[in-house]
Chains A and B, each alone.
Chain A
């Protein structure tokens, strides 16, 4: 009975909750990769996750998306428990992801890749509208609309992957190392695009290796090391936090 009442109370504030992760544990083959991670992504903000290679950042994202579900703990999105929903249901709640390693569909054309991003949008007009928008941000993609994505250059594939995420017009956009392997010029452009996406109204959860540029655009951040959060705070606090440096080099 009392549990019901508490549920009611949390439901009342639910709609503006954003993403709330409470003490999740995740494992591959019995080795725990995440050990009790808790974090929050507030609506309207850019939240970043920092951490060295192998810290568990991508695994955290896989858990949010239900690709490698957490076996303990809870993930809520706008108040709804999504911990064990199948991936396509989680995505249908308004979450999209630009995955690590771009993961473009190599044998689909650029435009088909983008359309795949808007798979859950039923209105053809809305899809056309979003396509136009993506092409405005990345004119290169408009020029190459019919080319197979697998034959695009690495930087161009990053654009396809980001554009595909934009096509979902998600409430929450999760981005995993979009700049990996890109030249500094592309990296700079990527950050500009992420800021722009955010200004169009998406909440962003960003995993990045470029600590300074990331903290420059993020509102809040978490530092992950060996599967748990070792520091958190506003971007400004993190910029001065010695733990950040430690997490990468210590």
Chain B
């Protein structure tokens, strides 16, 4: 393999890593505040990407052509809409099940995700076909010895890092973050501090879902294609990443996301017919890691929960 190809794998792996990490951070946030697995998370990501696409079509119909403006509005609309959807799911699906076994929440949110997925497939115009996601980022690229580094990849990666850093900052250095962590550790005592439990849960779900929407749009911008089923694999991978990193820890989620992407990339590079087996390889290694370290690489004990 030559340098150019290797460079391409690395860039691709980094992009996957940041997207997985963003999804995994959501799982970790939800688990942190409420001890639940919200499996509709991947479909919220998909819905975010479709919302962004719909906004792009709408802007086109309105004659707004400036791509930076399109980009800004696509991102803002998608993130805000999914923050709302996340809060609604929390309010009407997850919170009413509080007190029921965690499996029920997992099952119901899995079904919620299925409903979202089917709604997009049935009600979005020609929803069962893949959609061409627009290129809204500058197409500048730098060539190194046959390997072309695209500016849009760099920008997307930076945006993902900034988003995760922003969430981390919010959780660890703001009043809202303090409330989220207090609720995560002991919701009853948090209430006694005057923290409104329900509003904090809704905000946390809004935060994680907004992050997923951004990941969905980034995914669309990077691959220039979205489809109604894209959330499913991303959810499974994001969830595995959160588990393998240590559910409940943001660092664990980031580590898990990049680890999974690295394994996939390694599988694609090193195995014969690699691209066909890369997922099998990555999941096999993840299963192995979980078998060896059941609490995840960054155990909750030694890390701060969310």
Contact = CB atoms under 8 A, between A and B. Distances in A.
Are A and B genuine complex partners?
yes
B304 A116 contact: no
B193 interface: yes
B252 to A, nearest CB: 14
A71 interface: no
B189 interface: yes
Contacts of A87: 191-192
Interface of A: 65, 67, 86-88, 91-92, 96-97, 99, 103, 105-108, 112, 115-117, 119-120, 164, 168
A116 B193 contact: yes
A119 B185 contact: no
A116 B179 CA distance: 7
B186 A168 contact: no
Interface string B182-208: 100110111111111100000000000
B179 A105 contact: no
A91 B189 contact: no
- Chain B at the A interface: mostly helix, strand, loop or mixed? helix
Contacts of A67: 188, 191-192
Given A87-B191, A103-B186, A115-B175, 18 more contacts: A67-B192, A86-B191, A88-B191, A88-B197, A91-B193, A96-B192, A99-B189, A105-B181, A105-B182, A105-B189, A107-B185, A108-B185, A112-B178, A116-B182, A116-B193, A116-B195, A119-B193, A120-B193
Interface centre among A86, A91, A107, A117 (most CB of B within 10 A): A107
A108 B175 contact: no
Contact of A119 (B188, B194, B197, B305): B194
A103 B189 contact: yes
Nearest to A148: B304
Given A99-B189, A105-B189, A116-B190, A88 B196 contact: yes
B191 A116 contact: no
Contacts of B192: 65, 67, 87, 91, 96-97, 99, 103
A88 B188 contact: no
Contacts, number: 62
B182 A108 contact: yes
Given A88-B196, A103-B186, A119 B175 contact: yes
Interface residues of B, number: 19
Interface of B: 175, 178-179, 181-182, 185-186, 188-197, 304-305
Closest 4 CB pairs of A and B: A91-B194, A87-B191, A120-B194, A103-B189
Nearest to B304: A107
Contacts of B197: 88
A119 B304 contact: no
Contacts of B182: 105, 108, 116, 119
A103 B195 CA distance: 15
A99 B191 CA distance: 12
A222 B189 CA distance: 26
A164 B305 CA distance: 21
Contacts of A88: 191, 194-197
Contacts of B305: 107
A164 B178 CA distance: 14
A112 B184 CA distance: 14
A130 to B, nearest CB: 14
A168 B191 CA distance: 13
Nearest to B172: A112
Given A88-B194, A119-B195, A120-B194, A107 B189 contact: no
A123 to B, nearest CB: 12
Contacts of A107: 181, 185, 304-305
B181 A108 contact: yes
Nearest to B305: A107
A117 B178 CA distance: 11
A91 B192 CA distance: 7
Contact of A92 (B178, B188, B189, B194): B194
A68 to B, nearest CB: 10
A117 B193 contact: yes
A164 B194 CA distance: 12
Contacts of B186: 103, 105
A86 B194 CA distance: 10
Contacts of B196: 86, 88
16 contacts: A67-B188, A67-B191, A86-B191, A88-B197, A91-B192, A92-B194, A96-B192, A99-B189, A99-B192, A103-B186, A105-B181, A108-B182, A115-B175, A115-B178, A116-B193, A119-B193
